[in-house]
Structure 1
Amino acid sequence: MNMISAVAPLSSETTPALTYPTARRVEHTDDYFGTTVSDPYRWMEDVDSAELKTWVDAENELTQSYLAEVSSRETMQKRLMELINFERYTAPARRGTRYFYSHNSGLQNQNVIYWQEGLDGDPKVLLDPNTFSADGTVAISGLSITDDGSLAAYSIADAGSDWVKWHVRDVASGKDLPDVVEWSKFSGAAWLKDGSGFFYQGYDAPESEALKAANYFHKVFFHKLGTPQSEDKLIFDRPDDKELNVGANVTDDGRYLVLYQSKGTSPNNEIAVKDLQESESPIVRLIPTADATYSPINNHGSLFWFLTTLDAPSGKVISIDLNHPEREHWKTLIPESKNKLSDISIIDNTFIASYLADAQSLIELRSLDGQLIERLKLPAIGTAYGFGGLREDTETFYQFTNFTTPGTIYRLNMKTRQSTLFRQPKLLFDPALYETTQIFYNSKDGTRVPMFVSHKKGLVLDGSAPALLYAYGGFNVPLLPEFSSAHVMWMEMGGIYAQPSLRGGGEYGEAWHEAGTRVKKQNVFDDFIAAAEWLIANKYTSAKKLAISGGSNGGLLVAACELQRPDLFGAVVAQVGVMDMLRFDKFTIGWAWKEEYGSPSENAEEFSAIYKYSPLHNIHAGSAYPPTLITTGDHDDRVYPAHSFKYTAALQAAQGGTNPILIRVETRAGHGAGMPLSKRIEATVDQYAFLVKELKAGTPQD
């Protein structure tokens, strides 16, 4: 029985309805397998039009005037800056005799990349992206260091775009070489062993509308240092399939180029290999069928180790000898277990296997024949990641975090197998005042779903606490315990932070992921709704005090759920969401998501499933929807901002109650990656001001 089915739709009846900027409607329809679908805001897909700019400016003005009524906004801004103002490091990576890492002194817009000779050397600045632009919106998106530590290839992204430019910096002098590579996207840089050049990925330069145009025919190129990009050599492409994404990596010994090929966002991939010692050697399709994931771990000569989901949805480790590549010769070294094997490396000729056990880290050390040596003792429930380095290294570094522990770096001595604290942030709050528990609840179909719930110790379960429910549920991405200064502030304000592990994510392996894809996407929404119902039924919060939030695929999640259950939520924050599920494949890289969502214009069954939940197409005029804040960036070339524009206009026009429907459009911002700290703080404070106003939540002073 649905315990909250009798709750009426929430509406701030004492507050007069807002007057929204006029959004022109047009007579436009499309036919999908005999179903006529209207699209009255199609004109908003022209994101550079003067008419749209006028509408966006008016919407931003309305949103800011509404949030200006929250008296605690300045207090939250000050406290959040205090909580974020601590030193942050990444785990160091050794190249030759040099160690490389990033550091933020506290309130810098972008992390600074440093290098030093040995672990005790003096730190020197390699790259400071804070000097790239006055507003901090130019960020480093990729970094690759040569094997000897002498050169660094780095990519920069402007205003959050996925398009990047590659540059090369001499580490010792700190000066850039003349080399520049443009029109690269979804790419790393893979150096040759001698540092004479690197492999990268990109597309042909778009003829027009780089922000909007669809990207097809991903390619691998080689750039030789000292030559213009026009002379870069095309190394690998797949003209037989425009939707394949390709990638390249050079093995640690420098012998082989490993080439990946995957369809859209499917985790499954093919593998090809080229022997770099033989200049004319052919590219050999080692694994020609994308029937599972195949992730190279390392190699010893012609013997390769792979992490794969072949006949093992939770992952296993196999070995393949290039001299005998037939499947009957493949050997399983670490068999599949009940826990998802999410990552693995080889340090000191020892496997370091990172598992997810109910969405938290479990680390095992195993010999190269797969035998368990021991489990690494971690400081607490949380997430451990890193464990990088070369196969012959005798040390490695890893970072540990959870909801109340910022990234703390440990050094692991592989000879003694002992972890020692390497760097620990100094905090301006007391983690001992908070607690995290993991609960399990049943979804609509009985599936058992885990959820982390964090709050101040001593919380009284009477349903009066404001709660923030955040999830993602897609693309095989796991949501793990991770520190956020914003979530700490929310808990300081008396709030509850809840994070469920929905189907569609990567917490339990490929079977868990597939259970939330294509025609089964409704499972994800059911899991999320059940999480909300559990929090209410167990008196952690109440419907009028419960806010939901998600970004990108998570923006789709919360929008779909607010439309399906408007009675269940007191506020909704939908960030950079995929809202027009019938046209997501028409812009930039959206076509790649067909592997996850299905093909609405090509498959009748998938269209039918998508049409039932697509946020833009399930808004009903006259319904009283919860208070909603929609956010996007004007330069988002991942989830095209028209998704949010069209959804906002349609929801505002349909709203039958007086709850506000607002949109916040960030300027010179993309999908979120590389956003300067100042903009992230402003965006978070605006979101929290919205929640404080709608949920009648406390402030950091309470």
Structure 2
Amino acid sequence: MSRQSAPAPSPPETRREVVTETLHGVDVEDPYRWLEGDDEDVREWTDAQNAHVDDALDDALRDRLRPRFEDLVEVADYGPIAVREGRYFATVREPGADHARLVVRDAPDGADRVLVDPNAWAANREEDGPPRSMAWYVPSHDGERVAIGITEGGDENYDVRVLSVPAPNGSPSSSAETDGYGAGVEEVAVLPERGRVNAGSLAWAADDEGFVYVATGGAADGAQMDKEIRRFRLADGPDEEAVLLEHDDQHVWPRVTVDPDSGLLAVAFSEMVGGTEWYVRVDGDLRPVLTGTDAETSVRFHDGTAFVTTDAGAPRRRLLACSVERFREGDLSFDECREVLPEGEGILRSAVPTPDRLLVHRQRDAHSRLSVHDRDGTHLRDVSLPSYCSVTWVSGSRDAPEAFFGLTGFDRPPAVRGLDLDDTSGGDAAGAAATSDGAAGATATSGDAASTEIDSVDLSVPDDLVVEQRFVDSTDGAEVPVFVCYREDVAVDGPRPTLLYGYGGFRNSITPSFGRFRLPFLADGGAFAAVCARGGYEYGEPWHESGMLADKQHTFDDFVAAGEALCGSGLTDTDHLAVAGGSNGGLSVGAVVTQRPDLWAAAQCAVPLLDMLRFHRFLLGESWTTEYGHPEDPEAFEYLRAYSPYHNVESGETYPPVYFTTAASDTRVHPSHARKMTARLQHEAAGGPFLLRTKAETGHGVGKPASMIVDEQTDSWAFLYERLGVEVGDGGVASGADGDRDGV
């Protein structure tokens, strides 16, 4: 079935109210500005569009796909391990549960003692009303308390609660109590409506009797960009918080960290995609430490040392160090620090210190390497890893030579693995080894460190799954990596139905990832490809900068180059190739659909930016002007207008079918982007259909219950199956899970 042979019902009528603005001497028409509102007319229009989606999608196809996706959520998911003095914290979503529970263990592989179970909260036991979820947690240094962030409806405005943690060696609890907390867990404090505070902006004090955090205003009153650094003390209560700093720069976000030994509070000020300046708070004032630089820099304190990861003088990053005392003095230069790890061929993603070791994560050509070093940087051994894998997170113990990491890949369900950094026995517990900065698939040696599996998704990956990395030529001589996976032994009559996914922005790298909801598509003969478009961080800051501001078109060029290469290779053709992306990736999809509508048989565009002349007026949009440019700047206006998808829909042009999704409670990207683009395509374009699904009681992607995810995946894949002509197979797919529950 091709896109031309799939008729759909006519879309609902949308009134046009043309608003004309003169911007930098150019008249710009906006016929659907009324869809930026939130009144009854918009809600009625949204309901009509949702009904149109239900009419347009094949019910029989959805009925055949849904059981396969329901099976795929019937498996446990495991989050990162955080170690605090003999307590091992983690999140676990049990098979069939909507939400993950927070648990603590007395050993990495010990029995779970439940701390928080959102599934037991009263709001989540009711059929009506928005779901409540625990989006993040931060344990205290001694592990005796934990701060958690709770959101309602996934809006990313969090209540903060502080809970006590029962002592180690207590009896395991098989289920949470009726109030959603485990046996022996007490609610110590409640800090309601603290805005966009998250795990990266909360740091416990050295005495564990309180914490410092970054609070913002709420989305409803337009105050998300107003930020305060606050100090909360348990003895004082939430009404006695001290405001340490008010910060209203819309382009800069503070974050905080505390040295648990000295109690030193360090504050970083970072532009969304720019440099980072560091200060310390001494005697009530902020003292500059690393300032006046456009380098992107992070700091981690451990045992008297400040470890500084930076791209200053090293586009692929290096690791520096100085004493905490010197850091506290301020006015530090990078040249004064000793170099622990010089810049290498791969991107330095993280270096986690333990008492005598560093566990170092690098990425080369967008896949991972791990290595163990002395604290002075001396390389000791590599960690055995499989080819084309991603290390998704790394953590370590402050007091013991142990570390943990997440491991996944296109052919590898997510797993939590542990590593004894003092172990020199070698071996290969994780698959074919690779050197920390060398070629994939290198042979393991006796010096390689072996990790042990702690938790893993229970899924059998098909033996015939092929994973390849290809490089395609794009504009300005760029060689762009594209990962491709498909099942070799599944017979396909003609070109394979293929889905190309990408992002291309804000330093986000596309690396090998496991997609449980892709498995039926692969089993039915489909292929999945992921493009490492410019704007990401696959090759460091130069790769990011070549896909931002005036060079943003490079991102879209890379998507197109990947699509053309997939067709040129014979894997697929333009009648069987779809493109997908979300958020900034949704912008990429909108741009390549309007620029090259002939290349795609279908497109999926999730929570997208599409009106690039007004994005800065809504929610967090102003903070993104450092990535895209500011529409009020005449030079930026010209290149933004040149690719803005909403402004480049040509009347009468034939565009492929597009399935837009957005969320009524999205506090990042305003749903008006998807609304206006859908309305314009439905009115002005040929081809289609152009569908918009708006979800209520959810946001940009945080806190979705598993049941909602099944609904979303069923609709998304039904759209693709029909438009790409995929036949639904009769064979089942083993259940499994991945770390990205927000789509394909």
Contact 1:99 1:118 in 2 (8 A): yes
1:198 maps to which of 211, 232, 238: 211
**Aligned-partner Cα distance in 1 for 2:504–2:599:** 19
Q: How far apart are 1:379 and its partner, in Å?
A: 3.2
Counterpart of 2:40, as a letter, is: A
**Aligned-partner Cα distance in 2 for 1:477–1:346:** 24
Superposed CA RMSD in Å reads 2.1
Counterpart of 2:715, as a letter, is: D
Distance of aligned partners of 1:620 and 1:416 in 2 relative to their CA distance in 1, 3 Å threshold: same
- Structure 2: 5+ residue runs without aligned partners? 167-183, 425-448, 732-744
Contact 1:405 1:431 in 2 (8 A): no
Contact 2:491 2:525 in 1 (8 A): no
Q: How far apart are 1:101 and its partner, in Å?
A: 1.0
Contact 2:499 2:580 in 1 (8 A): yes
1:177 maps to which of 147, 163, 188: 188
Query: Do residues 451 (structure 1) and 482 (structure 2) align?
Result: yes
For residue 362 of structure 1, give the secondary structure of its aligned residue in structure 2.
strand
Contact 1:318 1:332 in 2 (8 A): yes
For residue 354 of structure 1, give the secondary structure of its aligned residue in structure 2.
strand
Counterpart of 1:74, as a letter, is: D
- Residue matched to 2:436: none
- Residue matched to 2:722: 693
- The one-character-per-residue Cα deviations of 1:300-339 (angstroms, maximum 9, x if unpaired) are 43x4220001011110111233357542423322111121
Q: How far apart are 1:381 and its partner, in Å?
A: 2.3
Q: How far apart are 1:87 and its partner, in Å?
A: 2.1
Q: How far apart are 1:462 and its partner, in Å?
A: 7.6
- What are the within-5 Å matches in structure 2 for residues 117-266 of structure 1? 117-119=106-108, 121-132=110-121, 133-134=123-124, 137-172=131-166, 173-188=184-199, 189-203=202-216, 205=217, 210-211=219-220, 213=222, 215-238=224-247, 241-263=249-271, 265-266=272-273
Contact 2:367 2:388 in 1 (8 A): yes
Contact 2:492 2:525 in 1 (8 A): no
- Residue matched to 2:438: none
Query: Do residues 74 (structure 1) and 63 (structure 2) align?
Result: yes
- The one-character-per-residue Cα deviations of 1:465-506 (angstroms, maximum 9, x if unpaired) are 100000000000011111111112220111000001110011
Counterpart of 1:297, as a letter, is: R
- Residue matched to 2:172: none
- Residue matched to 2:427: none
**Aligned-partner Cα distance in 2 for 1:334–1:507:** 19
Query: Do residues 333 (structure 1) and 335 (structure 2) align?
Result: no
Q: How far apart are 1:604 and its partner, in Å?
A: 1.1
Q: How far apart are 1:85 and its partner, in Å?
A: 1.9
- Residue matched to 1:6: none
Counterpart of 2:105, as a letter, is: Q
Distance of aligned partners of 1:420 and 1:354 in 2 relative to their CA distance in 1, 3 Å threshold: closer
- What are the within-5 Å matches in structure 2 for residues 496-645 of structure 1? 496-601=527-632, 603-645=633-675
Q: How far apart are 1:459 and its partner, in Å?
A: 6.1
**Aligned-partner Cα distance in 1 for 2:250–2:601:** 44
Query: Do residues 83 (structure 1) and 69 (structure 2) align?
Result: no
Counterpart of 2:52, as a letter, is: L
Contact 1:217 1:238 in 2 (8 A): yes
**Aligned-partner Cα distance in 1 for 2:67–2:491:** 28
Tell which deviates more after alignment, 672-681 or 215-224: 215-224
Q: How far apart are 1:460 and its partner, in Å?
A: 7.0
- Residue matched to 1:495: 526
**Aligned-partner Cα distance in 2 for 1:530–1:463:** 22
1:477 maps to which of 508, 513, 517: 508
**Aligned-partner Cα distance in 1 for 2:256–2:500:** 38
2:499 maps to which of 468, 492, 497: 468
Distance of aligned partners of 1:56 and 1:112 in 2 relative to their CA distance in 1, 3 Å threshold: same
Q: How far apart are 1:169 and its partner, in Å?
A: 1.1
Query: Do residues 647 (structure 1) and 677 (structure 2) align?
Result: yes
Contact 1:347 1:389 in 2 (8 A): yes
Contact 1:83 1:427 in 2 (8 A): no
- Residue matched to 2:423: 416
Counterpart of 1:526, as a letter, is: D
- Residue matched to 1:398: 405
1:65 maps to which of 25, 38, 55: 55
- Residue matched to 1:437: 468
Distance of aligned partners of 1:11 and 1:115 in 2 relative to their CA distance in 1, 3 Å threshold: closer
For residue 341 of structure 1, give the secondary structure of its aligned residue in structure 2.
strand
Contact 1:517 1:597 in 2 (8 A): yes
Contact 2:536 2:543 in 1 (8 A): yes
- The one-character-per-residue Cα deviations of 1:176-197 (angstroms, maximum 9, x if unpaired) are 1243242331433211122211
Distance of aligned partners of 1:36 and 1:214 in 2 relative to their CA distance in 1, 3 Å threshold: farther
Distance of aligned partners of 1:214 and 1:225 in 2 relative to their CA distance in 1, 3 Å threshold: closer
2:287 maps to which of 284, 288, 291: 284
Q: Normalising by the residue count of structure 2, what TM-score does the alignment of the two structures yield?
A: 0.88
**Aligned-partner Cα distance in 2 for 1:112–1:499:** 31
- The one-character-per-residue Cα deviations of 1:331-376 (angstroms, maximum 9, x if unpaired) are 3221111211111111232221111110100112222222222221
- Structure 1: 5+ residue runs without aligned partners? 1-9
- Residue matched to 1:365: 372
1:344 maps to which of 344, 351, 354: 351
Contact 1:298 1:345 in 2 (8 A): no
For residue 452 of structure 1, give the secondary structure of its aligned residue in structure 2.
strand
Contact 2:502 2:581 in 1 (8 A): yes
Q: How far apart are 1:592 and its partner, in Å?
A: 0.7
Identical-residue share of aligned pairs (%): 30
